Amino acid sequence: MDDQIELRLKQCTKLPSLPSVALQLVEAAGKPDLDPDEVISILAKDPALAAKVIRVANSPLYGQLSKTQNLNQAIIKLGLHSVITLSLSFSITHGLRSEGQPHLLQVWKRSLISSIVARLIGQRHNIPNKEDLFLAALLQDIGMLALDAMDDSYQQIVLEAKTHQDILRLERQTYKTDHTEVGHWLLQQWNFPDLLCNAIQFSDDLAITQETEEVSQFLSIIALSGRIADIWLHPSIRQASFTAMIANQKLVKLTDNEFQEVIDYVTSQMESFGQLFNIQLFSSKQAEQIQETASEVLAIRNLTLLREIRKEREKVDILEEQNRYLEDQVKRDPLTGLYNRRYLEHIMAIEFSEAEANEWPLSLIFMDLDNFKDINDRYGHPTGDEVLKKVSRYMERQLRRSDVVARYGGEEFVILLPNTRQDDTERLALRLKDGIKQLSCISEHGDAIHVSTSVGVACHSSKHPFAGANALIAAADKMLYEAKNSGRDLIRVYQRPEPL
């Protein structure tokens, strides 16, 4: 996230904050040996909240045969984690909506519909802790509240935008960030678990790959839930339905029957959930009309008309994809898939100009694999190539979307870090150096190969400027060779000489 926006958020006195009960619940949830009586004691301070939890426990959502009469029974039936998460959902929604603005009503509608969708998909796919999905979906647009509190003119973005994608586009144009990144930052300030924070950050992504399949599935469900919620909020129900179906094929891959079940379930539960959260969603008639339209779109997907539309769209998509692929390949190193030196030099000039114009830092890490020639000589070039590819994939996973990593030549790599201070760059360089050293590549003879790196770091800033991009990379290169000459497996940071 842009440093200036983060500073404005930190200085904002109207920033959304957790209600006291929610704060206590978050703190309690972090305890490894949490006592159910402590949760009951916290909820007892808010009788209305406790009543809602009991009401949910008795709702069709949980399909309980026996009636729940108190919080202790609710914890036994639903589980302690579910009760905490549900309580957080109610408490946060009530606390933040009481401070909300009329122009943000659509935000809460989208959030609540998304939470219904996410929980149902989680239930059908046997996801543990379905209430985490419910809460993450409910909070996926919380960053909009923060931006609204930070900037009085934000409501113009909300009012001007016709769709949720319009809001994201206008946010990026105005703030060089969007509410998914702001929401991720806000939940981190609230000490929420990483899984929920990341769910907010990736809620607009259509290509989600994480370290584990379980995490990817969780984040994909959240991203899909918002697209399905848009069916009820988009000016064109048909367009939103079609968009949601495409997103489903990329993210969760619900069957047609499962997708229809989600639409039907949301329609049937909308009124009761709206009452629980004191949000007027849609009348029964409106909800049913939207349901019928979405069902029609789902049904005609197999008809000739839609096939023809799809064929034409596929032709365009294929051509666009081919063009993007060819354009991207020109920028890429064919072995590692990283950006090549030519593209690095091009983007460096742009980022250096941006850094000077906006007076933000631009850092650079220059890395070289130690004794790489020995690996090629001993194990052969195919094994050496595998080492290069493994190191490249590791570095890509550690970087932000705004960072640029390129193969500079041979076993040399350069990482460009826009808007990154020197201390943060040094920490990243150390993490990369240590992480690469832990990587293991198996040769064709079964030998485990490890490689160390020498690293040079240089940072351009308004306080310590460089004359240009070439001077910046030359300084990092100088530090790299100093690291190698000092014994390898070291980091050297460029320090500007003190004036005489």
The predicted pLDDT at position 207 comes to: 73
**Position 223 in a domain:** yes
In this prediction, residue 250 carries a pLDDT of 87
Asked if residue 417 has pLDDT above 70, the reply is yes
What is the domain count for the chain?
Answer: 2
**Across the chain, what does the average pLDDT equal?**
82
When pLDDT is averaged across residues 90-95 and rounded to a whole number, the result is: 67
- Percentage of the residues of the chain whose pLDDT score is greater than 90: 26
What pLDDT score was predicted for residue 305?
47
Q: In the predicted model, is pLDDT for residue 100 greater than 70?
A: no
Is 51 contained in some domain? no
Q: Which of 104-108, 281-285, 316-320, 465-469 has the least mean pLDDT?
A: 281-285
**Structural domain contains residue 124:** yes
Question: Within this chain, do residues 270 and 394 fall inside the same structural domain, yes or no?
Answer: no
| 104 in any annotated domain | yes
Mean pLDDT is lowest, of 82-91, 219-228, 335-344, 490-499, for 82-91
Task: Render pLDDT for 232-264 as a digit per residue (tens, 0 to 9).
Answer: 888 787 788 888 888 888 888 888 888 888 888
CATH of residue 101's domain is 1.10.3210.10
- Please give the model's pTM, rounded to 2 decimal places: 0.54
Which range, of 27-31, 57-61, 146-150, 366-370, averages the lowest pLDDT?
Answer: 57-61
3-state secondary structure the chain: CCHHHHHHHHHCCCCCCCCHHHHHHHHHHCCCCCCHHHHHHHHHCCHHHHHHHHHHHCCCCCCCCCCCCCHHHHHHHHCHHHHHHHHHHHHHHHHHHCCCCHHHHHHHHHHHHHHHHHHHHHHHCCCCCHHHHHHHHHCCCHHHHHHHHHCCCHHHHHHHCCCHHHHHHHHHHHHCCCHHHHHHHHHHHCCCCHHHHHHHHCCCCCCCCCCCHHHHHHHHHHHHHHHHHHHHCCCCHHHHHHHHHHHHHHHCCCCHHHHHHHHHHHHHHHHHHHHHCCCCCCCHHHHHHHHHHHHHHHHHHHCHHHHHHHHHHHHHHHHHHHHHHHHHHHHECCCCCCECHHHHHHHHHHHHHHHHHHCCCEEEEEEEECCHHHHHHHHCHHHHHHHHHHHHHHHHHHCCCCCEEEEEECCEEEEEEECCCHHHHHHHHHHHHHHHHHCCEECCCCCEECCCEEEEEEEECCCCCCCCHHHHHHHHHHHHHHHHHCCCCCEEECCCCCCC
pLDDT in the model for residue 96: 63
Identify the domain containing residue 236 by its residue range: 97-307
pLDDT digits (tens, 9 = 90+) for 139-190: 888 888 888 888 888 888 888 888 888 889 998 888 888 999 998 998 888 8
Instruction: Specify if 38 maps to a domain.
Output: no
Q: What is the mean pLDDT of residues 333-359?
A: 90
| Digit-coded pLDDT (tens) for 440-467 | 888 877 888 899 999 999 999 988 999 9
pLDDT digit string, tens, across residues 293-302: 666 555 555 5
Mean pLDDT for the stretch of residues 116-136: 84
pLDDT of residue 283: 57
Boundary (domain end) residue, out of 285, 307, 329: 307
Q: In this structure, are strands 491-493 and 453-460 parallel, antiparallel, or unpaired?
A: parallel
Question: For residue 334, what are the contacts with CB-CB under 8 A and spacing of at least 6?
Answer: none
Both 302 and 345 in one domain: the answer is: no
Residues 347 and 286 in one domain: no
CATH number, position 435 = 3.30.70.270
Whether residue 288 is found in the same domain as residue 349: no
Q: What is the mean pLDDT of residues 364-385?
A: 91
- Look at residue 314 and tell me whether its pLDDT is greater than 90: no
Higher pLDDT, 3 or 466: 466
**Residue 224, pLDDT score:** 93
Q: For the ranges 50-64, 425-439, 474-488, which has the lowest average pLDDT?
A: 50-64
| Residue 210 banded pLDDT, cuts 50, 70, 90 | low
Is 132 within a domain? Answer: yes
Instruction: Quote the pLDDT of residue 431.
Output: 93
Which of the pair, 25 or 387, is modelled with greater confidence?
A: 387
On whether both 167 and 297 belong to a single domain, the answer is yes
Least confident interval from 86-95, 362-371, 468-477: 86-95
Same domain, 355 and 442: yes
CA-closest candidate to residue 444, choices 487, 382, 497, 390: 382
The pLDDT of residue 500 is above 50: no
Q: Can you tell me the mean pLDDT for 181-205? A: 87
Is 21 part of any domain? no
pLDDT score for 456: 96
* 20 belongs to a structural domain: no
My answer on whether 211 and 300 are in the same domain is yes
Q: Is residue 192 located within the same domain as residue 106?
A: yes
Six token digits for residue 375: 């690996």
154 and 277 within one domain = yes
Same domain, 242 and 348: no
Q: Which of 243-252, 433-442, 490-499 has the lowest mean pLDDT?
A: 490-499
State whether 297 and 374 are in the same domain.
Answer: no
Q: What is the mean pLDDT of residues 346-351?
A: 91
User: Does position 101 have pLDDT exceeding 80, yes or no?
Assistant: no
> Which range, 20-24, 90-94, 302-306, 462-466, is most confident?
462-466
Do 243 and 110 lie in one domain? The reply is: yes
